[in-house]
Amino acid sequence: MILDTNAVSALLAGDDSIAEVLAGEEHHHLPAVVIGEYRYGLVRSRDRGRLGRLFDLLIHESIVLPVDVETTVHYANVREGLRRRGRPIPENDVWVSALSLQHDLPIVSRDSHFDEVAGVARLEW
């Protein structure tokens, strides 16, 4: 499973309901894009020390998904498909969608705009 930024936030905040979705998964997948988004949020957080330590632990225990040349092919197809249908989504989420398709993994997110991307499965808590 790929954790979107809002899933990371919920997990590190101790949201018990997300634990049910993640149960049984030995490892989670974190896109480099999500790591950047969460770190940006930490910069502005009053609780950045504690959350930063928890986040570093999550990164260490997860499989980090970098953007590579193959990802760019999926990115281009996702973005064009959304453009044709007139259904744009945030740029970083196009990259997350591309990684989802590349690795055939569902995205754990509360963002329903992922449902606009053909072939992407979204799990919500």
- For the stretch 22-69, pLDDT in tens is 988 888 999 999 999 999 999 999 999 999 999 999 999 999 999 999
Give the pLDDT score at 26. 84
Give the pLDDT score at 119. 97
Give the pLDDT score at 123. 97
- Reply yes or no on whether the pLDDT at 14 is more than 90: yes
Average pLDDT along the chain: 96
CATH number of 2-123: 3.40.50.1010
Burial of 26 by CB count in 10 Å (0-12 exposed, 13-18 middle, 19+ buried)?
A: exposed
Give the pLDDT score at 47. 94
User: In 10 A of CB 22, how many CB atoms?
Assistant: 16
Q: Say if residues 1 and 108 touch (Cβ distance below 8 Å).
A: yes
Burial of 113 by CB count in 10 Å (0-12 exposed, 13-18 middle, 19+ buried)?
A: middle
Q: Say if residues 28 and 3 touch (Cβ distance below 8 Å).
A: yes
Residues 3 and 29: their CA atoms lie apart, in Å, by: 6
> Above pLDDT 90, what percent of the chain?
94
**Whether this model's pTM surpasses 0.85:** yes
- Reply yes or no on whether the pLDDT at 109 is more than 90: yes
